[in-house]
Amino acid sequence: MSRTPATLTASSTIDQWLGHPEGGPVLRGFLAQAGTDEAALGPARSMPLQQLVALSQGALPQAAVDDLVRRVNGGIIPEADGSAWQERPVAGRFEGRTVIVTGAGSGIGRATASRVAREGGRVIAVDIAADRIEDLTASLDDYQVVPIAADLTDAEAVARIIAGTEGRIDALANVAGINDDFSPLHEVSDAMWSRVFAVNVEGLMRLTRAVLPVMLDAGRGSIVNVASEAGLRGSASGVAYTASKHAVVGITRSAAFMYAKDGVRINAVAPGGVATGIPMPGTPSAFGSARLEAARVNIPSIADPAHLAATITFLLSDDGVNINGAILPSDGGWSAV
């Protein structure tokens, strides 16, 4: 149950809006006009109202959120009261460090790359989408970002990424990944299985294999692999994605054990639901969707990509000094269910 704030703002959660004597009717009216209701929001109710702008990918414009806030505050947009979570970058935490971040063009990877850069690091920002990493680089004009457009399934691209580091790699965040179509084992196509494994497992393995000699030579390094709740349980996605993220967990544990005496730490973060635009390839399996829908009621909250960046940068940085081989859920408690 979330506390009802005295003043509703865009930083107040949807739950707080719904529980507010004025905000509840205003938001319910808005949802009804949009042809939906609060039940359809599911675990997204734990998110700040503001996050719906990014999550809806244009369906809910900023102007509509501003309008809702004005309607419950006598026509003005009040200052946020500071009670909502705020990212607090640690000045200089990555000073002098070169950090490769894959999937840096969107979602969790973008938030991680941005935070490392703002904490003083030189970021090698990798993504298959050239326009997205150009956009990231432009948004971090005063910081050190080297954009490298590369498809991680392409062996030549891995060599280009290593060349772009100019011989120094202190940390690697393997964030890039793709979804499956929720298909169960009796339905999964060879194409879906191969594509998901090519990106989520083989791409991660090949880049990490190329990075490790540099770290082992230096006698230090930190690697964070992004797994998923689907790497911890069977009820979070389809078989291809679930198996791929279990493989990421296995790669993490094996490497952590192998290099434990060589100064290289390897950990994984297992996100729960995160408000990103991660695409669903094709039409979701009806069989898989129905099974997953029933399990999804256990998701306590949907995170902002910056929440995951906070977890990932902690492990990437020297703050994670004694942590090796951990599979750290960053999921608002989903894995405790």
Ligand X SMILES: NC(=O)c1ccc[n+]([C@@H]2O[C@H](COP(=O)([O-])OP(=O)(O)OC[C@H]3O[C@@H](n4cnc5c(N)ncnc54)[C@H](O)[C@@H]3O)[C@@H](O)[C@H]2O)c1
Site residues (CB under 6 A) for ligand X?
Answer: 102-103, 105-109, 127-129, 132, 151-153, 175-178, 199, 203, 226, 228-229, 271, 273-274, 276-278
The least distance separating ligand X from the CB of residue 72, rounded to whole angstroms, comes to: 30
Nearer to ligand X, 65 or 199 (CB): 199
The least distance separating ligand X from the CB of residue 300, rounded to whole angstroms, comes to: 14
Pick the catalytic residue: 143, 241, 259, 261? 241
Which pair of tokens denotes residue 265? Answer: 């730490």
Nearer to ligand X, 69 or 113 (CB): 113
Query: What is the DSSP secondary structure assignment for residue 153, as one 8-state letter?
Result: T
- Using CA atoms, how far apart are residues 213 and 99, in angstroms rounded to an integer? 15
The least distance separating ligand X from the CB of residue 247, rounded to whole angstroms, comes to: 12
Angle in degrees, CA 310, 311, 314, rounded to 5? 85
Nearer to ligand X, 49 or 150 (CB): 150
Contact of 309 with 51, CB cutoff 8 Å = no
Determine whether 261 is an active site residue: no
Which pair of tokens denotes residue 85? Answer: 């979570």
- Using CA atoms, how far apart are residues 165 and 146, in angstroms rounded to an integer? 9
Q: What phi, psi does 16 have (nearest 5°)?
A: -65, -40
Q: List all residues 6 or more positions away from 288 whose beta carbon is below 8 Å from its beta carbon.
A: 181, 182, 183, 184, 187, 238
CA atoms within 13 A on the CB side of 197: 11
Place of tokens 């692999």: 225
The least distance separating ligand X from the CB of residue 66, rounded to whole angstroms, comes to: 25
Determine whether 241 is an active site residue: yes
Pick the catalytic residue: 143, 245, 259, 261? 245
The least distance separating ligand X from the CB of residue 109, rounded to whole angstroms, comes to: 5
Q: SS3 of 152, please? A: coil
Nearer to ligand X, 54 or 80 (CB): 54
Nearer to ligand X, 27 or 204 (CB): 204
CA dihedral 131, 132, 138, 142 (to 10 degrees): -140
Active site residues: 241, 245
